[in-house]
Amino acid sequence: MPGTPVGKGRPKVASRGGKFAQLYTPEKTANYEGLVAHAGHVAMNGRDLIAGAVSVQLDIRLPVPASWSKRKQNEALDGQLLPTKKPDIDNVEKAIFDGLNGVVWNDDVQVVDVTKRKRYSAVPGVRIRIAEIGAGE
């Protein structure tokens, strides 16, 4: 998944005439989930949706802030500084899982194992590894 990872945003509320409220997904979240769905579609290459239990590994790579000194940037790229900032790791996971619903698997309830990490990188993105789990594993 190329590009800067985006966490799933909280639903927004729009009122209609003061009497009715409508929930909607923030545009940034919807765009990112669409990008995830497209990448998932390309990766599936015409294969059927995964029907069983799924294991997922997420390697989330955030860009190093350009405003940091060269020394600090190098420390971040070497793993000496870790990204304790937004987006939250669980919100990135949720955006990716929702984007893959109906594209890679039927629904993200099929995910039974998750391994995830968040680091800085010169090339931001998310490496996603998905494996179907057979019965008894």
Assess contact for 51 and 88: CB atoms under 8 A: no
Confidence of residue 122 (pLDDT cuts 50, 70, 90): very high
Confidence of residue 20 (pLDDT cuts 50, 70, 90): confident
Residue 136 clears pLDDT 60, i.e. is over it: no
82-109-43 Cα angle (round to 5): 70
Q: What is the pLDDT of residues 64-73, one digit of tens each?
A: 999 999 999 9
Residue 25 clears pLDDT 80, i.e. is over it: no
CB-side neighbour CA atoms (13 Å) of 132: 10
What is the pLDDT, as a whole number, of residue 135? Answer: 60
Token pair of 79 as six digits: 């793993």
